[in-house]
Each structure stands twice: as C-alpha cells, then as structure tokens.
Chain A
Amino acid sequence: SAVISQKPSRDICQRGTSLTIQCQVDSQVTMMFWYRQQPGQSLTLIATANQGSEATYESGFVIDKFPISRPNLTFSTLTVSNMSPEDSSIYLCSVERETGVEGYTFGSGTRLTVV
C-alpha cells in the first residue's frame, strides 16, 4: 500500500507566523486529505486536495488560513497561516492505501505547538 513521508514531525512556532507541512507519497494518488487531530481528540477533515484544482475545504476551514498546494500526483503541502495557540494540534495527511483497495493510509503526523 501507499507510503507517506510527512515532515516536519513536530515544530514549536511563534504566534503570528506560518508553518508549511509537506507530504510525499511513494505512488501517484488522485486525492490527498488533510486532517487535524487536537490532543486526545478525533480526526477532523480540513480539506481534500486534487491535483490541478483548488482544494475543497470543510465547514470551519478556509483557504486563507490553511492554503494547500498540490503540484503533482505524489506531493502536497498544507500551510497553517498566522498561527495562534488554538492551532496547536497534530496535522495529518492521508491517501487511499492503494487504488481499488479499501482503507486509507496516514502520514506520521506533524505535532504543532504554537507559543
């Protein structure tokens, strides 16, 4: 199944700054998904990124705050902009495990702390 390399694994950032998270997949995938997981909580979908088109954002998430790039079928970035302590969370990317195979694979996550 697909393998995702996500980085950075963790970061501590000053409020007001931005952080870009990268996910590299070892195979071509149509859709990539970005999730947020607050400590001890469930996963919330931020947006779905398709190559060559604008990402689709879920309710409560906007492009200005979480711009996403999807330059090709194996790579995507999520930027957390103008950060505040409320953005402290784990951010994960996800793709289908394999075309036609059930289930999704997740990156190892980026643990973000905003101070």
Chain B
Amino acid sequence: GQQVMQIPQYQHVQEGEDFTTYCNSSTTLSNIQWYKQRPGGHPVFLIQLVKSGEVKKQKRLTFQFGEAKKNSSLHITATQTTDVGTYFCAGHSYSGAGSYQLTFGKGTKLSVIP
C-alpha cells in the first residue's frame, strides 16, 4: 500500500531560526495536505497542494509540491514559540471504488527554544 515517509522525526530550533520538514510518498499523489497538531490537541488542516511544482505561502510558512507529485516540504521562516507542535503531511490518493484515502506521514515534532 501507499507509504508516506517524513523527516526529520524531531527538530529543536532556537526561536528565530528556520525549520523545514520533508515528505516523500511511494506513489504519485492526487494532492498532499499538511496538518499541525499542538501538544494535547488534534490535527488541524493547514493547506492542500494539488499541482505539480506548486508553491503556496501562509505568512511565514512555505509549502512546496514536487514536480513528480511524490514529495513535498514545509518551511517555516523565523520560528516562533507558537509554531511548536507536530507537523504532519498526508498524501491523498485514489483508493478505488470512487473513494480517496489520506495516508499520514509520521510527523515532525518541532520544539522552539525561546
């Protein structure tokens, strides 16, 4: 079945440093989604990328989708303590019988040292 790998598993940064997490799928994706889960919370949708080579920005967050639609990255510029949490990528692919399936990466847990 589809596998989504995500690295690194953990990242500790000083406040103000940049942060990047990378995601790689074993199969071509229909789209890729990114979620943030704060400690003790539930995943919250951040963004979806659909097109090959697509780049989207949300303030200090930049999301990229690879040309082959198999990899993606999330880059945070000048991290803040409010960025703390686990960032998950989730590959969206057709699973047959008219339905789609979301497969989550293992997540990157970001710690920001003030």
Instruction: List residues of chain A with CB under 8 Å of any chain B CB.
Output: 31, 33, 40-45, 48, 56, 59, 92, 97, 102-109
Contacts and interface: CB of A to CB of B under 8 A. Distances in A.
B105 interface: yes
Given A42-B104, A45-B103, 10 more contacts: A31-B99, A41-B106, A42-B105, A43-B43, A43-B88, A103-B45, A104-B33, A104-B102, A105-B45, A106-B43
Contacts of A41: 106
B88 A42 contact: yes
Shortest 9 CB-CB distances between A and B: which pairs? A103-B45, A102-B48, A106-B42, A43-B104, A42-B106, A42-B104, A109-B42, A106-B43, A108-B42
Given A59-B1, A102-B33, A45 B101 contact: yes
Contacts of A92: 42-43
**Range class of the B interface residue count:** 20 to 34
B85 interface: no
Main secondary structure, interface of A, reads strand
22 contacts: A33-B102, A40-B109, A42-B107, A43-B88, A43-B104, A45-B101, A45-B102, A45-B103, A48-B99, A59-B1, A97-B45, A102-B33, A102-B48, A103-B45, A103-B48, A104-B45, A104-B102, A105-B45, A106-B44, A107-B42, A108-B41, A108-B42
Contacts of A43: 43, 88, 104
A104 B88 CA distance: 13
A103 B31 CA distance: 10
Interface string B39-80: 001111101100000000000000000000000000000000
Contacts of B45: 97, 102-105
B20 to A, nearest CB: 19
A97 B43 CA distance: 12
A104 B104 CA distance: 12
B104 A103 contact: no
Interface string B92-103: 000000010111
